[in-house]
Amino acid sequence: MSTSQPPVPEGPPRPDRSPPPAGQTPAPAAVASAGGAGVPAGAAGVPSPAAPVDPPGSSDGRPAPPEDPAAVRKGRPPVSLSPSRASDFMQCPLLYRFRVIDRLPEKPSEAATRGTLVHAVLERLFDAPAAERTPLRARSLVSGQWDRLLESRPELAELFAQDEGGERLARWMSEAEALVERWFSLEDPTRLEPAERELFVETELESGLRLRGVIDRVDVAPSGEVRIVDYKTGKAPRPEYSEGALFQMTFYALVVWRLKGVVPRRLQLVYLGSGEVLTYDPVPADLERVERKLLALWDAIVRATATGEWRPRPTKLCGWCDHRARCPEFGGTPPVYPLPVVPGR
Ligand code: SF4
């Protein structure tokens, strides 16, 4: 992984995800980067189980993939894997169970909600003609997108229910605006024409395992080279945690490769919190390795689903876990396991 600048890509505008107008000339590539994150090159892979993989609040604003109809109700065995849920299992199998099998509710957090808001603003900004994608315009979108978010998820209002004077909300909004504005020091949206935004992807591997997720932005160069871009509202990870960041991106690269038959030329993480851009250029061997790891992970999930043995794995991240009260590591008792158990599997 590196912080170098991509030779890659812009593609024709497709704000509505419909095919581009014939003959439209894509803008030239332009991506800025900031200070070195020190992430080692050539480190693509899957995080070890002990590594903090998708840190708390992780959701980082990423919209969840559409619910799999077969897994919406409580007590259904999992049928597919997304990067977030794979990371949950690697972080703590019991956390995975609480989220995927028991589907226990979790309180919204200011950090994750701010991430959702910032993602919405960055996505909507591309609706405007290129020359109008300015910091001023982006900031002006923040409050409208917050209203839309509240409309679609009224439970988010509870975040600021005790904030009678509105100071906390005002501070939170200005933090979101600052993150949006920082993006302009990292990329130049007047010179970008994403091929896709908030793209839901899903594929089935030969083994039958279904992989799914949502990619923030896909750029396609005139040469056909694909760049996958992900926005993070947090800070770039320290080098020892870079595998976690890469995991999500190589997961998406694998899905795109399986869907389109093309290995993405570049994976790019844009860290708005620290003003850094991390990039990695995957090769097929990286993605084959990720596929093998995902299959092994899925085997472990299937086994735990059948036996009901979801071990807690306490780490520093427990501090952000909503389920401590029912976690045996903290003196709690998990709810009755809702699936039939096959002992000794
Ligand atoms: S508190 Fe820690 S060990 Fe317990 S379920 Fe949550 S993440 Fe796992």
Distance 53 CA to ligand 1 centre (A): 14
Which pLDDT score is estimated for 54?
35
Ligand 1 pocket residue status of 94, Cβ below 6 Å: yes
Residue of higher predicted confidence among 199 and 163: 199
Q: At 209, list the tokens.
A: 């395992």
Expressed in angstroms and rounded, the spacing between residue 332 Cα and the centre of ligand 1 is 10
Minimal CA–CA distance to 26: which of 279, 219, 199, 262?
A: 219
Atom of ligand 1 nearest to the CA of 323: 6
Q: What is the DSSP letter of 99?
A: I
The whole-number average pLDDT for the span 195-206 is 96
CA gap 63, 12 in Å, rounded: 24
Burial of 96 (0-12, 13-18, 19+ CB in 10 A): buried
Residues 6+ apart with CB under 8 A from 282: 44, 250, 253, 263, 264, 267
120 within 8 A of 62, measured Cβ to Cβ: no
pTM metric for this prediction: 0.80
Residue 242's pLDDT is 79
Least confidently predicted of 13-17, 40-44, 143-147: 13-17
pLDDT score of 241: 78
81 or 33, greater pLDDT:
81
Instruction: For residue range 35-52, list pLDDT tens digits in order.
Output: 333 333 333 333 443 333
Question: Which strand (E) or helix (H) includes residue 80?
Answer: strand 80-81
Going by pLDDT thresholds of 50, 70 and 90, the confidence category of residue 56 is: very low
Task: Give the chain's mean pLDDT.
Answer: 83
* Best of 94, 317, 330 for a ligand 1 pocket test (most atoms within 8 Å of beta carbon): 94
Confidence band, pLDDT 50/70/90 cuts, at residue 62: low
Q: Is the pLDDT of residue 70 over 80?
A: no
> Tokens at residue 3, please?
């912080």
90 Cβ below 6 A of ligand 1: no
* Whole-angstrom distance, CA of residue 74 vs CA of residue 90: 21
Q: What is the pLDDT of residue 164?
A: 86
Strand 266-271 to 276-280 pairing: antiparallel
Contacts of 314 (CB under 8 A, 6+ apart): 92, 329
Q: What is the pLDDT of residue 35?
A: 32
pLDDT in tens, 201-248: 999 998 899 999 999 999 999 999 999 999 999 999 888 777 888 899
Residue 77 binned pLDDT confidence (cut-offs 50, 70, 90): confident
Supply the CATH classification number for the domain 192-296.
3.90.320.10
pLDDT, residue 69, reads 47
Alpha carbon distance 68, 241 (integer Å): 30
| 233 SS3 class | coil
DSSP string, 135-193: HHHHHHHHHHHHHHHHHH-GGGGGGGTT-TTSHHHHHHHHHHHHHHHHHTTTB-GGG--
Q: Of all residues in the chain, what percent carry a pLDDT higher than 90?
A: 71
pLDDT at residue 119 above 70?
A: yes
Is the Cβ–Cβ distance between 324 and 88 less than 8 Å? no
Does any ligand 1 atom lie closer than 6 A to the CB of residue 322?
A: no
> pLDDT tens-digit profile of 164-184?
889 999 999 999 999 999 999
Asked whether residue 9 carries a pLDDT value surpassing 50, the answer given is no
Looking at residue 240, what is its pLDDT? Answer: 78
CB atoms within 10 A of CB 223: 10
Residue 308 has pLDDT above 70, yes or no: yes
Q: How far is CA 192 from CA 79, 131, 133, in A?
A: 36, 11, 10
Best residue among 88, 89, 327 to mutate for probing ligand 1's pocket (most ligand atoms within 8 Å of CB) is 327
Among 315, 323, 328, 345, CA closest to 91: 315
Residue by residue, DSSP assigns 271-338 as ETTTTEEEEE---HHHHHHHHHHHHHHHHHHHHHHHH--------GGGGG-TTGGG-GGGT--PPPP-
Residue 198 φ/ψ, nearest 5 degrees: 45, 55
Residue range(s) in the chain whose domain bears CATH number 3.90.320.10: 192-296
Q: Where does the pLDDT of residue 139 fall: very low under 50, low under 70, confident under 90, or very high at 90 and above?
A: very high
Report whether residue 95 contacts ligand 1, using a CB cutoff of 6 Å. yes
For residue 130, the model assigns a pLDDT of 97
pLDDT of 320 strictly over 80: yes
Distance linking the first and last C-alpha atoms of the chain: 39
Report, as an integer, the average pLDDT of 288-317: 96
Banded model confidence at residue 6, pLDDT cuts 50, 70, 90: very low
Compute, in angstroms, the gap from residue 46 CA to the centroid of ligand 1.
21
